[in-house]
Amino acid sequence: AFLASGDSVAMMSPGFSFNRKLAMLQGAQFLEIEFSEDHSLPMEQLLFGPAKDAKFILLANPNNPTGTFIPVAHIERLLAKSDRLIVLDEAYVDFAPENGLRLINRYSNLLVLRTFSKSYAAAGIRVGFGFGHPEIIGRLRNIQNVFNMNVIGHAIGISVLAHRAAYADNHKQIKHQRQRVTLALSQLGFSVTPSHTNFLLARVPAPDGSWWQSAFAKEKILVAYFPDKGLENHIRVSIGTKEHMDAFLSAAGHISRALKMPASTPHLARG
């Protein structure tokens, strides 16, 4: 709807790698713009640097795979200074302190995307939705497949929205486990990036992220590893139930002891 062959799209790095593949399928150029050291938006680069000619800017907030969050006021400054389309992916926003929906009525160059796959635990229905200016939504409808949603997904989506309060306790439990695991990993020598999602990005003490992924697999625990620049020494841990996280922390402690790594003073990444 918004990209043609030869166009370019800008996305923050590190980011969701599948977006790169989608751009390539359109024959578009993919521009990766690194976050500032404090995980804030590099406004100068987005407005005047390599991204200045991009057809649109894609921002995931909170970001995947870092879990970091950009204050909505910062995104509004970008919207006010640029007439390009800003696509705001809010897949994990229910775990964050605020969202960008209030900006829809102020800026015609904003498209906000949501999904049922994360906080509503309904990934199987593969249903997402968006908010934007009528002109933007109209362009999406022009390419909409007449069979884009089945009746089962439609019914489950409506049911989920009708029972939003039922998910509040689940969100509360995830945030509690996230805090508990952050502290426990920090005591084992990991450097944990402050997260506003249902996962944690943790810098491993040694040797590297790939080694830890394999070590956890031997303990029948699955964690994500990303070979991307800047993430080689990290793993990503999804937050589950208390029982799931007990098993994860038990495995983390066992691996740490096997490496003879002494527990350290809690160390949290800045952000």
What beta strand segments (E) does the chain contain? 8-13, 29-34, 56-60, 85-89, 110-115, 128-132, 191-192, 199-203, 234-238
- The stretches in the chain having pLDDT less than 70 are 1, 261-271
- List, for residues 54-65, the tens digit of each pLDDT value: 888 999 999 999
Total Cβ atoms within 10 A of residue 137? 15
- CA–CA dist 184, 206 (Å, integer): 17
Give the pLDDT of residue 268: 47
Which CATH number is 167-258's, of 3.30.70.1230, 2.30.30.170, 3.50.50.60, 3.90.1150.10? 3.90.1150.10
pLDDT of residue 91: 95
pLDDT tens-digit readout, 243-262: 999 999 999 999 999 887 55
* Domain limits, the chain: 8-162, 167-258
The tokens describing 183, both together, are: 């502290």
User: Going by CATH, does the domain composed of 8-162 fall within 3.40.640.10?
Assistant: yes
Closest CA to 9 of 61, 18, 17, 24: 24
**How high is the pLDDT of residue 217?**
98
